[in-house]
Amino acid sequence: MRQERCENCDRPLLITDAVCWHCGHPRQGSAAAATAAVAAESSGLTAVSGYAILTLVIIISLLLVIRSLGQQPLLVVNSNAPRPRGWAVFTDSQHRFTLNLPPDWQLAEPDEAAFTALLAGQEGWETAVSPLDPGTILLLASSPDDTPQLVAVARNVQLHQLSLNQLTDLIAKGGVDIQELEESESFFGMPQINLTFAANGNILCSQQYALQPEDSYLLTICMDSTTFRRSRDTIEAIQGSFQPLKP
Amino acid at 45: L
Please give the CATH architecture assigned to the domain spanning 88-244. 3-Layer(aba) Sandwich (3.40)
Rounded percentage of the chain residues whose pLDDT exceeds 90: 1
Q: Mind listing the pLDDT tens digit for each residue in 145-185?
A: 766 677 888 887 777 777 777 777 777 776 677 888 888 77
pLDDT digits (tens, 9 = 90+) for 83-127: 788 998 888 888 888 899 988 888 888 888 887 777 766 665 566
The pLDDT, as a whole number, for residue 69 is 45
| Segment among 29-33, 116-120, 188-192, 218-222 with least mean pLDDT | 29-33
Q: Where in the chain is the domain with CATH 3.40.1000.10?
A: 88-244
What does the pLDDT average to over 120-144? Answer: 69
